[in-house]
């Protein structure tokens, strides 16, 4: 199993395929870009670590030290707390069974904000904080675009939920996520989604403050809106996560370019079906995931675009089908199939970095700043992933 | 992380959600059903272990002992060889870089059949067998339905490839997979696909034998055709793997019933959006995979059907959307949403068992033969999965 860099696997020609690769140069550049935006907007960053799920990648988020993070699982919370990230928001609605692990983290000195959108949840969080005699700061989820959970900013029940939390010392603030921004088509639509996201969060916060309920955190973010927002007045923090790697969905939206994509999967050619126009590889959906996020975009990129081992795009070659351990590459726009003998290694750029990364135990890391390699790019490091729940 | 059965997690009410569950009663019954079919057809079984990837599940395949298996990765080959399964077919086209691991297994006394469909591959397999002075039995992949790799039985190049292998002592036989049978609509179509699959494999074998090339193995199989074949004369072994768990795709095809589905994912209700008709859970695509196999079937089952914690189907409740760690349940056919308070545990039956199982480190095992539990089904065991490549 390709779980560590062995002495015989010092380049991308080494490990058995398929395996995930991260270009740390692009990751650094993507992180710096959002950091500069946040600084310009005068807002703190609380990156979501659910995409990379890597302590090594997270070390690049805050200039090498720990910093505020958002997590999608308690396994992430525990792993990141263990590495010194003591300011954590668990951004999935809380349920009672998960509170003991949250409380255990709090007792270790970690701040863990929980998320909720109902009186039912506020009541059991308040009770747990009282019973355990710990701080359980809670964020009320605000629905800005009908994407998933949350309360509309004008929901009748909002002040009552905040009151339950406040009376127990648990009210921290509000949080929203513009999930529908993934379906925007233009930069103007993304800017509008970012304004709407901010307006919803700020309106909810102002409504609570007007009712005498103190709101500290006003948290917004999605990768598309984080890169489009032009004014975040009233917002205290910005969340985004996918930007550490970006992917074809984000490139299709115009949030990034193809040369910003930091995650790819190295695969090997294992067969040819010239009569069908197919090149077969050993990278199927087990390596890429079943995610077909670009299927809903104007340019469907199949299961991914293909580069050579150096990361140079092979024009018009697309991974169009996937079995468990087989990928099918085909040419589009009438392009001929390139000559790729059995054993040739390629890299596939994924639709959705979060989903593709989740299929792997970790990442072999290359540094694109070193320029094209004459043989195969050197492997600089191995970054393991946090897995499970 | 829910990676083992702790003393406080003795029932499905115990481990933090989401987690994968296997009903061992249904698994045993599904295995016995195919075993009885194979016995009736007079053919050996070589089950594919890529679905469960579990040594514990594999122990049920051959009455407790080791037996012939098919694998999709060398990580599986190594794990199963370590557990005494010394008769292995690696059913993904071979490429040179993977041969050292194959040869290492052979040197441990394991038979590993490799798969190929080109002269190029036959030449390097033959050279490797000679150089390493080991047996490298090879199967030539036959394409019976244009699904993926392989040579048509009448392909001009077939005897030449077999000759290269034979001259190096590497020719073992032929293998085909009726991948298109997943798109059959009726039992008659599946029977026809099974006949076509057998005919292609047997025709290829007979063609080689007529050319003086000895063929030992004639291997066919896919879960739909394995359950439909009425005559396997000339076939030496039957492969299938999905049947250990089955799934909604197989139920939609009519290969099994919903009460044969042995794999599910336990999730917890974390929110409600009555204005949209949504119940939100903590089981998103990370727990279910992005597989939407039933989308191509007459009855689209979304991301899965929903049962209570005992496994009893909740009529008309479907998981219709998935974020990374959020699932959305909606009612169909005008059914009302059931009362499911926050904290309620449910089980979701997946589209595609291979893909959903791959999202988990292992399975909490229950025994459906014990009947409905008054509280929550007891956890009998934990079966870890083989992961990676």
pLDDT in tens, chain A (389 residues): 344 444 446 999 999 999 999 999 999 999 999 999 999 999 999 999 999 999 999 999 998 889 999 999 999 999 999 999 999 999 999 999 999 999 999 999 999 999 999 999 999 999 999 999 999 999 999 999 999 999 999 999 999 999 999 999 999 999 999 999 999 999 999 999 999 999 999 999 999 999 999 999 999 999 999 999 999 999 999 999 999 999 999 999 999 999 999 999 999 999 999 999 999 999 999 999 999 999 999 999 999 999 999 999 999 999 999 999 999 999 998 889 999 999 999 999 999 999 999 999 999 999 999 877 788 999 999 999 999 99
**Is residue B127 in some structural domain?**
yes
> Minimal Cα–Cα distance from B388 to chain A, Å?
6
Inspect the interface and report whether the beta carbons of B354 and A179 lie closer than 8 Å: no
User: Are residues B168 and B102 part of one domain?
Assistant: yes
Residue reference for tokens 């102002």: A206
Q: Do B92 and B230 belong together in one domain?
A: yes
Encode chain B (389 residues) as per-residue pLDDT tens digits: 344 544 446 999 999 999 999 999 999 999 999 999 999 999 999 999 999 999 999 999 998 889 999 999 999 999 999 999 999 999 999 999 999 999 999 999 999 999 999 999 999 999 999 999 999 999 999 999 999 999 999 999 999 999 999 999 999 999 999 999 999 999 999 999 999 999 999 999 999 999 999 999 999 999 999 999 999 999 999 999 999 999 999 999 999 999 999 999 999 999 999 999 999 999 999 999 999 999 999 999 999 999 999 999 999 999 999 999 999 999 998 889 999 999 999 999 999 999 999 999 999 999 999 877 788 999 999 999 999 99
The CATH number assigned to the domain holding A358 equals 2.40.37.20
* Position B340 in a domain: yes
What's the domain count of chain A?
2
The beta-carbon neighbor of B75 closest among A1, A75, A268 is A1
Is any Cβ of chain B less than 8 angstroms from the Cβ of A269? Answer: yes
Out of A217, A240, A263, a domain closes at A240
Q: Do A103 and A176 lie in a common domain?
A: yes
The range of the structural domain enclosing residue B276 comes to 255-384
Say whether both A211 and A350 belong to one domain.
Answer: no
Residues 353-372 of A with CB under 8 A from B: 354-355, 358-361
Question: Where a domain ends, among A205, A240, A275?
Answer: A240
* Assigned domain for A30 exists: no
Q: Are B270 and B328 in contact (CB under 8 A)?
A: no
| A 182-211 residues with CB < 8 A to B | none
Cβ separation A290–B3 shorter than 8 A: no
Contact list, B146 vs chain A (CB under 8 Å): 276
CA A362, CA A373: separation in Å to the nearest integer? 23
- Look at residue B80 and tell me if it is in a domain: no
Which residues, other chains included, contact A258 with Cβ-Cβ below 8 Å and sequence gap of 6+? A248, A251, A305, A313, A349
CA dihedral A44, A49, A55, A57 (to 10 degrees): -80
Q: B341 to chain A: which residues are within 8 Å by CB?
A: 120
| Chain B residue with minimum CA distance to A179 | B323
* Whether B236 and B261 share a structural domain: no
DSSP 8-state code for residue B243? G
Residue A145, min C-alpha distance to chain B (Å): 12
What confidence score (pLDDT) does residue A5 get? Answer: 47
- Confidence (pLDDT) at A334: 87
Whether B294 and B319 map to the same domain: the answer is yes
| Rounded Cα gap, residues A345 and B115, in angstroms | 19
CB contact under 8 A, A96 and B282: no
What is the reported pLDDT for B9?
65
Tell me which chain A residues have a C-beta less than 8 angstroms from the C-beta of B273: 143, 149
The beta-carbon neighbor of A271 closest among B93, B271, B355 is B93
Pair B197, B298 in one domain: no
Helix axis angle, A99-107 to A119-132, nearest 10°: 40
**Predicted pLDDT at B52:** 98
Instruction: Give residue A9's pLDDT.
Output: 65
CATH number where A144 lies: 3.20.20.10
Say what the pLDDT of residue A230 is: 95
Q: How many CB pairs under 8 A join A and B?
A: 156
C-alpha to C-alpha distance for B137 and B172, rounded to whole angstroms: 5
The partner residue sitting opposite A95, judged by closest CB among B3, B97, B270, is B270
Residue B6 located in a structural domain: no
- pLDDT tens digits, B42-54: 999 999 999 999 9
Burial class, B173, CB count within 10 angstroms (exposed 0-12 / middle 13-18 / buried 19+) = buried
Look at residue A43 and tell me if it is in a domain: no
Residue B75, chain A, CB below 8 Å: the answer is yes
In a domain, B249, yes or no: no
| Same domain? B319 vs B230 | no
Contact A342 B120 (CB under 8 A): yes
Q: Are residues B208 and B299 in the same domain?
A: no
pLDDT at A358: 98
Put simply, whether A156 touches B (Cβ < 8 Å) is no
* Same domain flag for A202 and A110: yes
Contact A118 B272 (CB under 8 A): yes
Interface of A with B in 5-34 (CB under 8 A): 16-19
List Cβ neighbours of A235 (8 Å cut-off, separation of 6 or more). A43, A198, A201, A202, A218, A219, A220
Shared-domain flag, residues A264 and A202:
no
**Inside any domain, residue B146:** yes
Q: Are residues B194 and B294 in the same domain?
A: no
Cβ of A282 under 8 Å from any chain B Cβ? yes
Rounded to the nearest 10°, the torsion over CA B239, B244, B249, B252 is 100
In angstroms, the CA B329 to CA A174 distance is: 25
Closest CA to B121 of B154, B88, B105, B97: B97
């Amino acid at each position: 199993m390709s779980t560590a860099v062995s002495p015989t696997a010092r380049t991308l020609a080494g490990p058995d395929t398929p395996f995930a690769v991260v270009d740390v140069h692009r990751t650094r550049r993507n992180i710096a870009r959002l950091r500069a935006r946040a600084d310009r907007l005068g807002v703190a960053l609380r990156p979501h670590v659910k995409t990379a799920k890597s302590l090594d990648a997270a070390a690049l988020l805050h200039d090498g030290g720990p910093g505020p993070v958002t997590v999608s699982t308690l396994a992430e919370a525990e792993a990141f707390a263990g590495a010194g990230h003591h300011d954590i928001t668990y951004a999935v609605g809380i349920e009672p069974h998960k509170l003991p692990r949250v409380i255990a983290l709090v007792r270790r000195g970690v701040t863990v904000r929980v998320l909720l959108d109902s009186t039912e949840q506020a009541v059991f969080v308040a009770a747990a904080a009282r019973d355990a005699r710990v701080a359980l700061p809670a964020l009320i989820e605000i629905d800005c675009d009908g994407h998933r959970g949350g309360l509309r900013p004008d929901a009748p029940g909002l002040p009552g939920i905040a009151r339950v939390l406040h009376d127990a010392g648990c009210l921290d603030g509000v949080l929203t996520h513009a999930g529908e921004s993934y379906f925007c088509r233009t930069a103007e639509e993304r800017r509008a989604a970012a304004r709407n996201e901010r307006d919803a969060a700020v309106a909810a916060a102002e409504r609570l403050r007007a009712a005498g309920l103190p709101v500290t955190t006003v948290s917004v973010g999605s990768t598309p809106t984080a890169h489009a927002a032009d004014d975040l007045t009233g917002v205290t923090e910005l969340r985004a996560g996918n930007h550490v790697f970006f992917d074809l969905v984000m490139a299709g939206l115009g949030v990034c370019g193809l040369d910003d994509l930091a995650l790819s999967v190295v695969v090997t050619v294992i067969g040819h079906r010239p009569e069908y126009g197919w090149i077969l590889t050993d990278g199927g959906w087990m390596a890429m995931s079943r995610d077909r996020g670009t299927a809903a975009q104007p340019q469907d990129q199949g299961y991914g675009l293909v580069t050579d081992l150096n990361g140079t795009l092979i024009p018009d070659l697309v991974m169009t089908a996937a079995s468990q351990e087989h990928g099918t590459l085909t040419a589009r726009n009438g392009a001929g199939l390139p000559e790729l003998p059995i054993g040739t290694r390629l890299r596939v750029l994924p639709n959705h970095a979060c989903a593709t990364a989740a299929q792997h135990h970790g990442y072999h890391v290359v540094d694109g700043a070193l320029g094209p390699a004459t043989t195969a790019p050197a492997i600089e490091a191995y970054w393991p992933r946090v897995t499970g729940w």
